[in-house]
């Protein structure tokens, strides 16, 4: 199975780039399943229902989120209407929406996708992500109820991300880190067969500060005084993500490689898909 994960869409330039490029990628790369993190898609803060639906229409099978999931208040309502929209699973019981779900890939495989948020340097501090993952895996084990399992681990600290990867190693197909918006170079297959990367990067303007116009963040670092609001950068976007080949027999990863398309970073498409 061929699976593509695209990192956090940031603002109009990021979401537009995904909508324009993803349909072609699905066809050209013969993708069976696509996951996109959309928590920064609406001006850098949250996501609207229209943006969510446009992302699904472009070819995404699931849209995950993170700590900005509720920044657009309408998300509290529309999250209940769409099974393909995920918020972090370790929110307290009774929180609207869902944190994991089972989907069918284009090749017929059953894919469990779970959105988990870390706790180190994160706000709000949610329930234990490791216990949340254990509960999800107990309910839908790899090789039994699921043919593939993917965790979007939305967290700040790379140590927490790496430990989470080791925690589910051999029980998940992919652990992909999101939130920091900077693509890391540590894509690998762990000892137990789980593909891992600390951060997939973002889909946004890299001539920026994490996808935001750089002037106000720079001002705050220098002066410690806000002059205005953070605004999403509006230059050409680079798509960043990761591609994974998953065994149809074991549900574990066979290959992993970064995907980068755009003007600011060296372009790369997983060679095993060419």
Q: Name the E strands within 105-215.
A: 110-117, 148-154, 174-178, 188-189, 195-197, 202-203
The structural architecture, per CATH, of the domain 2-261 is: 4-Layer Sandwich (3.60)
Residue 22: which of 8, 9, 34 has the closest Cα?
34
Q: How far apart are CA 24 and CA 7, in angstroms?
A: 17
- To the question of whether residue 138 is assigned a binding role by annotation, the answer is no
The whole-number pLDDT of residue 260 equals 97
- Clarify whether 68 is annotated catalytic: yes
pTM over 0.95: yes
Task: Identify the three-state secondary structure at position 246.
Answer: strand
The whole-number pLDDT of residue 272 equals 84
The upper half-sphere exposure of residue 53, i.e. CA atoms within 13 Å in the direction of its Cβ, equals 7
Which residues of the chain fall short of a pLDDT of 70?
none
- To the question of whether residue 8 is assigned a binding role by annotation, the answer is yes
The whole-number pLDDT of residue 271 equals 85
Q: Name the E strands within 15-147.
A: 33-37, 62-64, 100-104, 110-117
pLDDT in tens, 19-69: 999 999 999 999 999 999 999 999 999 999 999 999 999 999 999 999 999
CA 198 vs CA 5, 151, 267: distances in Å? 13, 12, 19
Q: How far apart are CA 100 and CA 54, in angstroms?
A: 21
The whole-number pLDDT of residue 232 equals 97
> So where are the chain's domains?
2-261
- To the question of whether residue 181 is assigned a binding role by annotation, the answer is yes
The upper half-sphere exposure of residue 7, i.e. CA atoms within 13 Å in the direction of its Cβ, equals 33
Contact yes or no for 38/13 (Cβ under 8 A): no
Catalytic residue, from 68, 123, 166, 187: name it.
68
- To the question of whether residue 154 is assigned a binding role by annotation, the answer is yes
- To the question of whether residue 40 is assigned a binding role by annotation, the answer is yes
């Amino acid at each position: 199975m061929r699976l593509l994960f695209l990192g956090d869409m940031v603002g109009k330039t990021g979401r537009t780039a995904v909508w324009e490029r993803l349909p072609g990628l699905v066809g050209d790369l013969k993708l069976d399943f696509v996951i996109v993190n959309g928590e920064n898609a609406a001006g850098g803060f949250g996501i609207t229902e229209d943006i969510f639906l446009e992302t699904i229409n472009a070819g995404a099978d699931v849209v995950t989120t993170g700590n900005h999931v509720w920044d657009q208040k309408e998300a509290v309502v529309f999250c209940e209407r769409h099974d393909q929209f995920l918020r972090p699973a370790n929110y307290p019981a009774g929180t609207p929406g869902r944190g994991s779900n089972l989907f069918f890939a284009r090749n017929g495989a059953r894919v469990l996708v779970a959105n988990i948020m870390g706790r180190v340097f994160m706000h709000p501090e949610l329930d234990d992500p490791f216990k949340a993952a254990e509960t999800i895996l107990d309910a839908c084990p790899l090789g039994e109820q699921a043919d593939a399992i993917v965790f979007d681990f939305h967290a700040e600290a790379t140590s927490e991300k790496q430990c989470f990867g080791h925690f589910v190693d051999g029980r998940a197909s992919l652990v992909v880190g999101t939130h920091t918006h900077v693509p890391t170079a540590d894509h690998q297959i762990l000892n137990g067969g789980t593909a891992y990367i600390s951060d997939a990067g973002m889909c946004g303007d890299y001539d920026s500060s994490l996808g935001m116009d750089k002037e106000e963040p720079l001002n705050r670092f220098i002066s410690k005084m806000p002059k205005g609001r953070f605004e999403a950068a509006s230059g050409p976007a680079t798509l960043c993500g990761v591609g994974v080949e998953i065994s149809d027999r074991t549900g574990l990863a066979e290959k992993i490689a970064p995907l980068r398309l755009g003007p600011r970073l060296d372009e790369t498409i997983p060679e095993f898909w060419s």
